[in-house]
Structure 1
Amino acid sequence: MNLTTLDPPIPLYTLEQDPILGSKLFSMSRFEGTVTHHSELLIPHRKDYYLLGFIRQGGGRHWVDMVPYEPKDQTFYFFAPQQITVKEEPLPTWGTAFAFTQEFLALQENTLLRTLPMIQNPENGHELALSEADVMFVEDLLDKIYSEYLTAGVWHQRMLSAYLQVLLTYLSRLYTEQFERKTFSAETQLLKKYQAEINKHFHQLHQVSDYASLLHVSAGYLSEVIKAQSSKSAITHIHDRLVLEARRLLFHSEQSLKEIAFGLGFSDASYFSRFFKRETQVTPAEYRAATRRMYQ
């Protein structure tokens, strides 16, 4: 497992100008035994865009937030912005991938996409198993999307958005079947909004009352709903997110403990160390040393 010492310590990649659309909002690629040679993918990195793809066959092992995945044939994979990913080696791949940015989701015709479980990803999933029927449906839609992607015209953008809505809605149904298996009540929606706000603000806001203000509810009501919906206290969700980010940085970067602590909104590095040990039973230094020994 390679470690990067770049500044910033973990590079953030943006969606490049698409040669077909002339846009930085959406891109699509097909792979027929293609080998990805981009060396930057072989070091830990983040993307500021969504990346989704159907792997028909091939692909090399990759890591998402310290979890290794062996690619499975006939499987759909999805990455969210800001996750730390790294490939172990470039291997031939057959399949189709597409990427889009937060700005793409903000377009009027795409606003409904933002509410779908596949996009919100409350369970922090990464792969969807597909049945034979699912594969036929997904491949047919991907063919339609790719054909529209290559077609210029007045209705191009709307057709592209319409096909994407059908595909991502279909995949969201699979997502809920495989990950959530819950009804979408008002309380469930509050949990999802709470998790989304934590993802946006965990570097600065560490108190439940801060998020209650953002969501326009009382701290007591928010705590009650979050506990009932997730079986975890509201403050635990905040702490879990801080620990996840701390683990990412301890494993993938060479930042000092003081730099990591300040970056996560702790005013004192020693307090951060006590917090991390309380949550994980090991100190940040012990965690960094142990995980690097394990994965080297």
Structure 2
Amino acid sequence: MGDIIKLDSIQDYNEVLGVETLHPLVNVVNMSELDVIRHGRKNFGFYCIILKQIDCGPLLYGRNQYDYKDGTLVFVAPGQIAGANDNGETRNPHGWILMFHPDLLRGTALDRQMKDYTFFSYGANEALHMSERERHIIINCFKEIREELEHAIDKHSKQIVAANIEVLLNHCVRFYDRQFITREIVNRDLLSRFENLLGSYFNSDKPQQLGLPSVAWCAAELHLSANYFGDLIKKETGKSAQEYIQLATVERVKELLTQGKQSISEIAYILGFKYPHHLSRLFKKVAGVTPNEYRSVS
């Protein structure tokens, strides 16, 4: 494994790329203006959005492969490690890089909203694959930010740049929504596999070993990041992944209650609840009655 390059500041990345620092907290780089980009894994101390304007070839997406050639956006958040590890280089690269430090957003409306842009926690195989029209919109956003950075910094610079970044991110939300919709068949297959996963989980001894299935565990079993999995389930069903798991759990409780063989405590143990009253609380919340009330009318 090669060394990991630690990039704590925008200046650090500018030096790696060999470009001028126009602002200490943000920069936009047109990669076509560079002679070469050297490969290597990087530990980012800031947000980074990378547009790859190359033929990406087949990309792994869950358990399937897709071939996207119109442009791919990859999102990196502070503390994440990204990049190739072959110690190679790309000559005459094409694409764009937007990098911005969290300090740039302090005191802006965008600072409070960053947690809502969950795609910063998606894996590289869940990147945003854009159409040509979408790619042009994003490039225009990059150019707007860069144009502002080429002006002398004044008291308005921070708010204007932050506002332009927010516009770009909101376009990305829209494009991800489109991506979820255009993958409808794949999404339905995922939902089916999710249901089967929960069924097999409750039919095994995993609940006694691991407790109730978590969103993170289900996502890992389906080869997706937890955030992407959660967003996809929400788009497909209107419920969060956690709500979906709770519904499946309550349905299994109902099955066991109607069989009439086990006590509430025994059912709680079988399904991985820590305490029986946790089962009763969830059941009442979802079903509207207590387990005993449900059993009495079943």
TM-score range, shorter chain: 0.3 to 0.5
Determine which structure has more spread, i.e. the larger CA radius of gyration.
2
TM-score, scaled relative to structure 1: 0.48
Higher share of residues assigned helix:
2
TM-score, scaled relative to structure 2: 0.48
